[in-house]
Structure 1
Amino acid sequence: MTMNESAENYLETILVLSHSLPVVRSVDIANEMGFKKSSVSVAMKNLRENGYILVSDSGFITLTDSGMEIAEMIYERHTLLSTWLETLGVDKEIAAQDACKMEHVISKESFDAIKRHIG
């Protein structure tokens, strides 16, 4: 499976939800992302088949090591980029929306350079 923006968003959402919920289920992801449960189910099947998540018999979703690695990378990018844009004077909501787009396309080299510059 080629990791695309949609898959990265799902993994990031699972990570974020796991910080606030005792267990993460497809319905939680659907509610958080505003998607139909059927769409989320298809995505979870793909992520499971490609080794990014585990789904228990009870329907609880957890990230595998490889899924966690991607989710943490995307979440770090989102957090840093949105905070940085806000410090530049961008409205918080717009900064979060723009960061969500940027986090998927920025190269590791460019992101690391931004981290060094603002860190």
Structure 2
Amino acid sequence: MSKHEMKMYQSTEDYLEAILMIKQEKGHCRSVDIAKRLDFKKSSVSIAITKLTNEGYVIKNEDGMLELTEVGLKLANNILERHNFFFNWLRSLGVDEERAYDDACRIEHAMCDDTFHKIVSYVRGRDNGNS
């Protein structure tokens, strides 16, 4: 995967994760909510939502509310699981909350599923005294 493809995929993941988190917090999500969450211009979010809609990850209702498709929801849940795992793990190591959040955001995109699951298994095994 090229750096350009990785950056595009990371951007997609960031948007899908933001939509999921906003929907969990507020019960609904609009483009303006994403712009606030990610600190992006509304016009940039609009372009991205159009792209995500065309790729089959998001549905934009007539009232402007955003819904994740089945594929979009699966991806969003996957990336949120990674984020939460790395955030909690870093916090357990004594990393301060803001740094742990920022680092988890970077780490969550950096590895394949197999590597992630092996790290989770290793960490959980150590937590249970099975090292």
Same fold by TM (over 0.5)? Answer: yes
How far does the alpha carbon of each residue in 1:26-68 deviate from its partner, in whole angstroms, 9 at most, with x for none?
0111111111100000000000000000011111100000000
The Cα of 1:91 is off from its aligned counterpart by 1.3
Report the equivalent of 2:25.
20
The Cα of 1:118 is off from its aligned counterpart by 2.4
Identity %: 42
Report the equivalent of 1:40.
45
Structure 2 Cα separation of the partners of residues 43 and 26 of structure 1: 10
- Unaligned runs of at least 5 residues, structure 2: 125-131
Which is further off, 9-18 or 108-117? Answer: 108-117
- Unaligned runs of at least 5 residues, structure 1: none
Structure 2 Cα separation of the partners of residues 92 and 21 of structure 1: 23
By relative contact order (CA 8 Å, sep 6+), the higher-ranking structure is 1
Which is further off, 5-14 or 98-107? Answer: 98-107
Report the equivalent of 2:82.
77
Show structure 1 runs of 4+ deviating over 2 A.
Answer: none
Structure 2 Cα separation of the partners of residues 56 and 109 of structure 1: 35
> Given the alignment, which residue of 91, 95, 102 partners 1:90?
95
Tell me the C-alpha RMSD between the 2 structures.
1.1
Which is further off, 105-114 or 61-70? Answer: 105-114
Amino acid paired to 1:68:
L
Say which SS state the counterpart of residue 62 (structure 1) adopts.
strand
Structure 1 Cα separation of the partners of residues 55 and 113 of structure 2: 23
The Cα of 1:86 is off from its aligned counterpart by 1.1
